[in-house]
């Protein structure tokens, strides 16, 4: 959000904390130290919920200010792949969907702000998901299944499907979750490291 202010106003500092000092409205100025600690990686004595709620309040305020200057598209993306820490991933998902719900309420109120959510799984009870389904803008995509992944690998490597070992098929399918970009990157990395030769 601060980057958009910089784009619109060249005088906004490149340092995020200094930029926040300039752009945060006066009624939220007391939030800047907490967010400054967060942005600079300093530990905070405050709890995560307090930080989260403060951050959302500031972001919503900044987006409301920006909509007066330029059209706004808020893009939220929850990245996840194969995780060794499912509890942490679940906590991250909860935070993401809480933030998504808060921003969805803003998008619903402010017609000059649009929203786009990119995720692997969308909980049907989240307000943002409900709104997108009601408006007909919910689009469910899926990764390539194992057969499609095999066909993609075959085309990318320029070899017949039958020459790709089953272990490699399974490995690439599991690691990439069917994402075509990740399939290419995984194959490229395996070739660079000498684990795969065509």
- Cα 90 from Cα 169, distance rounded (Å): 28
Predicted pLDDT of residue 84? 56
Predicted pLDDT of residue 50? 80
Per-residue pLDDT, averaged over 69-96, amounts to 78
- 128: helix, strand or coil: helix
Helices marked H in the chain: 2-8, 16-23, 32-39, 48-66, 86-109, 127-134, 146-157, 166-176, 180-192
Which residue is listed with tokens 């939030």? 31
Q: Among positive and negative, which fits the CA dihedral 89, 90, 94, 95?
A: negative
- Cα 181 from Cα 90, distance rounded (Å): 25
- Cα 36 from Cα 58, distance rounded (Å): 12
Q: Which of 10-19, 68-77, 80-89, 133-142 has the lowest mean pLDDT?
A: 80-89
Predicted pLDDT of residue 111? 84
- Cα 133 from Cα 43, distance rounded (Å): 40
pLDDT tens column, 11-68? 999 999 899 999 999 999 999 888 888 888 776 555 677 888 888 999 999 999 999 9
Torsion of CA 167, 172, 173, 174, to 10 degrees: 90
- Cα 67 from Cα 171, distance rounded (Å): 46
pLDDT tens column, 128-183? 999 999 999 999 888 899 999 999 999 999 999 999 999 999 999 999 989 999 99
181 phi/psi in degrees, rounded to 5:
-65, -45
Q: What is the pTM of this model?
A: 0.68
- Cα 178 from Cα 81, distance rounded (Å): 11
- Cα 64 from Cα 42, distance rounded (Å): 28
Per-residue pLDDT, averaged over 89-114, amounts to 88
% of the chain exceeding 70 in pLDDT: 93
């Amino acid at each position: 959000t601060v980057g958009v202010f910089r784009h619109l106003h060249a005088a906004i500092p490149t340092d995020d904390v200094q930029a926040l000092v300039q752009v945060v409205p006066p009624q939220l100025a007391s939030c800047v130290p907490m967010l400054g600690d967060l942005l600079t990686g300093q530990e905070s004595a405050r709890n995560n919920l307090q930080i989260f709620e403060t951050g959302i309040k500031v972001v919503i305020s900044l987006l409301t200010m920006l909509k007066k200057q330029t059209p706004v598209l808020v893009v939220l993306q929850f990245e996840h792949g194969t995780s060794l820490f499912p509890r942490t991933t679940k906590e991250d998902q909860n935070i993401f969907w809480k933030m998504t719900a808060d921003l969805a309420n803003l998008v619903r109120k402010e017609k000059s702000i649009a929203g786009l959510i990119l995720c692997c799984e969308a909980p049907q009870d989240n307000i943002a998901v409900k709104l997108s389904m009601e408006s007909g803008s919910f689009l469910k995509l899926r990764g390539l299944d194992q057969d499609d992944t095999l066909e993609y690998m075959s085309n990318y490597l320029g070899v017949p499907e039958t020459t790709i070992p089953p272990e490699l098929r399974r490995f690439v399918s599991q690691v990439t979750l069917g994402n075509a970009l990740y399939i290419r990157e995984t194959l490229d990395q395996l070739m660079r490291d000498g684990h795969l030769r065509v």
